[in-house]
Amino acid sequence: MGREFELKYRCADADFEGLTADFSGFQTIEMETTYYDNASGDFSRRKWTFRRRMENGNSICTLKTPMKGLGRAEFETECGD
């Protein structure tokens, strides 16, 4: 199990291009993400997130659950198609 603490920021395209120019060795990752819940919305009610993400052709399944404070527990595994 990992622990996640995440900050997200908005950035205009022009600002992002300038920011990425300051770093070398960036790797592009193509992602397609699908989030799941049951018909009763049990995951959402518990503030859990379950997703399947395709990353450059690899399937990764992740479950995130709340922890005390601002962090979240993260359980991740490669999963089959």
d(CA 56, CA 53): 10
How confident is the model over 66-74, as a mean pLDDT? Answer: 85
- What pLDDT shows up at residue 17? 77
Q: How many CB atoms lie within 10 A of CB 64?
A: 19
Q: How many Cα atoms sit within 13 Å of 30 on the Cβ side?
A: 3
Average pLDDT of the chain to the nearest whole number: 85
Alpha helix positions (H), 1-81:
13-21, 42-46
Percent of the chain scored above 90 by pLDDT? Answer: 44
